[in-house]
Chain A
Amino acid sequence: METVFAITLIALGIAATLAIIRATIGPTSFDRVLAVNTIGSIAVLLIAVYGFFDGRPEFLDIALLYALINFIGTIAILKFFRFGTLGDHGLHEEGDEQ
């Protein structure tokens, strides 16, 4: 069973490397957003798989926290695209809609 986890870890490492390459060369900004989101998901999986690989899966809640932060970060980046800013104008338009 440990072999399965080891192979999974290696596969996740390769996937993370590919995602980093995509985040670097990605022609459009959306490629980069998606690549970073993928890296976050891979980090979540890496923590979970490493916990079972090490025989101590107590840190799964940290993986959950990473998933939440990944989600919030992606929302913030997409808001940056939508409004062009995260500061005054973004808040202003929200206030106007209410």
Chain B
Amino acid sequence: MSGFFVNAALISLLTLIAFLAIRLHRLFAVVMLSGAFSLVAATLFVVLDAVDVAFTEAAVGAGISTILALATLSLVPANEKPHDFAFVPAFLAFATAAMLAVAVADLPAFGDVNAPIHNHVAPDYLKGSAEDIAIPNVVTSVLASYRGFDTLGETVVVFTAAIAVLLVLGGWTRRKEDGEDDNA
């Protein structure tokens, strides 16, 4: 029961940060709040026992994303332009949220041992990991061997995204400058 209160408090904090970030028009403050959002979200993931997700959220969401957003901030004006209330995006967002809320009702209960995710291939992975892969860490054997192609695809996606971001943030101009002073 105490876990419920901790979760509720963390989700309330997340909602508060999200609303404030939407309301603010000073972009630097929005970047700061998004970093805070990621840290609180990562804390929520730790509380929910999704430790690997929390690691990723803290490293990517709070670390890299904040730094990338700051790098972008140096290329754009400091304040958001005032604009009218955007009805179509707001409607789409609310419709998606409503559909997700309806879908949540059909999910298995949190930690349910009879949930499909625990009865499909997970038992085979847990039993066969030591013999098939011969390394003690089951998570590593699932990521690097059972779902090796999946992981490769994810790595390619992340790599492509990194290249695209570097190009957008001025990779072209830097290459010209590097040609002059050999600063690679």
Contact = CB atoms under 8 A, between A and B. Distances in A.
A92 B183 CA distance: 8
B70 interface: yes
Interface of B: 2-3, 6, 9, 13, 16-17, 20, 24, 28-29, 32-33, 35-36, 39-40, 42-43, 46-47, 51, 54-55, 58-59, 62-63, 66-67, 70-71, 73-74, 169-170, 173-174, 177, 181, 183
A40 to B, nearest CB: 5
Q: Which applies to chain B's interface (DSSP): helix, strand, loop or mixed?
A: helix
A59 B183 contact: no
Interface of A: 6, 9, 13, 16-17, 19-20, 23-24, 26, 29, 32-33, 35-36, 39-40, 43, 46-47, 50, 53-54, 59, 62, 65-66, 69-70, 72-73, 76-77, 80, 84-88, 91-92, 95
A4 B43 CA distance: 20
A16 B173 CA distance: 41
B71 A40 contact: no
A91 B181 CA distance: 12
Given A13-B13, A72-B63, A73-B66, A62 B51 contact: yes
Given A43-B43, A47-B46, A17 B16 contact: yes
B9 A13 contact: yes
B16 A88 contact: no
30 contacts: A17-B16, A20-B16, A23-B29, A23-B36, A24-B24, A35-B32, A36-B35, A39-B40, A40-B36, A43-B39, A47-B43, A47-B46, A50-B46, A53-B2, A62-B46, A65-B58, A73-B63, A73-B66, A76-B67, A76-B70, A84-B74, A86-B67, A86-B74, A87-B170, A87-B174, A88-B173, A91-B174, A91-B183, A92-B177, A95-B181
